[in-house]
């Protein structure tokens, strides 16, 4: 790869990271979680990753997180950004790595399913062991308070396992399903000019 191609590739990764950052602003709540909002910032990470490969995907993810910290700062002592980084990596990298070995529409779909499953597992672990404990420490809450807030939105929730079953998993399934479907619909339409730009 010559220097010009490297510069164009890095430029594209930066641009896609900036688009991912902008998409974070267009978030909206769902009836599945009182703590998280849905956004589509994973789309540029996926599309850029399919074109640029796993290193490009990581660059896009890092640019998004850094821009968020620069322009919005952190309200969670960086725990939210750490979770966002882990969720993006666990979703995008498996999809990109699988697609690189199976460059078909079926390969992309299977990769996205694998990435979604990995991301949902990471979401469960990070929420239970990082995000909820942080907010409990910050606001002097305990698990009963967290469970109460979730139960007010979803009456079926009454303990930690039901938070996972009725809130964390459904929210992340919805988020990843929507992002995956939109990615499949958009990729072929916009990948050609993006590949030419990055070449």
- Outline where DSSP puts E strands in the chain: 28-29, 37-38
The alpha carbon of residue 184 and the mean position of all alpha carbons in its chain are separated, in whole angstroms, by 16
Report which secondary-structure segment, H or E, holds 167: none
Q: Which residues contact 42 (CB under 8 A, 6 or more apart)?
A: 20, 88, 91, 92, 175, 176, 179
Q: What is the pLDDT of residues 53-78, one digit of tens each?
A: 999 999 999 999 999 999 999 888 89
Q: What is the pLDDT of residues 135-164, one digit of tens each?
A: 898 888 899 999 999 999 999 999 999 999
Q: Are strands 28-29 and 37-38 parallel, antiparallel or unpaired?
A: antiparallel
CATH class entry, domain 3-27+35-198:
mainly alpha
CA distance 68 to 194: 24
Q: Which residues contact 115 (CB under 8 A, 6 or more apart)?
A: 90, 91, 92, 93, 94, 95, 98, 176
Packing angle, helices 3-23 and 42-52, rounded to 10: 160
CA distance 169 to 93: 20
pLDDT above 90 (res 193): no
> In the predicted model, what is the mean pLDDT of residues 39-64?
96
């Amino acid at each position: 790869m010559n220097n010009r191609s490297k510069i164009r590739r890095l430029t594209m990764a930066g641009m896609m990271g900036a688009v991912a950052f902008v998409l974070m602003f267009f978030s909206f709540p769902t009836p599945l979680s009182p703590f998280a909002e849905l956004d589509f910032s994973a789309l540029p990470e996926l599309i850029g990753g399919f074109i640029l490969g796993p290193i490009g995907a990581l660059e896009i993810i890092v640019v998004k997180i850094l821009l968020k910290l620069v322009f919005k700062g952190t309200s969670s002592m960086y725990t939210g950004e750490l979770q966002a980084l882990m969720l993006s990596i666990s979703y995008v990298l498996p999809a990109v790595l699988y697609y690189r070995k199976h460059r078909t529409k079926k390969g992309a779909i299977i990769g996205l399913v694998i990435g979604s499953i990995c991301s949902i597992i990471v979401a469960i672990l990070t929420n239970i062991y990082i995000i909820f404990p942080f907010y409990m420490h910050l606001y002097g809450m305990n698990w009963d308070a967290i469970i109460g807030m979730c139960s007010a939105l979803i009456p079926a929730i009454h303990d930690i396992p039901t938070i996972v079953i009725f809130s964390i998993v459904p929210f992340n399934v919805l988020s990843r399903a929507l992002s995956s479907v939109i990615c499949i619909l958009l990729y072929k339409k916009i990948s050609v000019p993006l590949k030419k730009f990055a070449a």
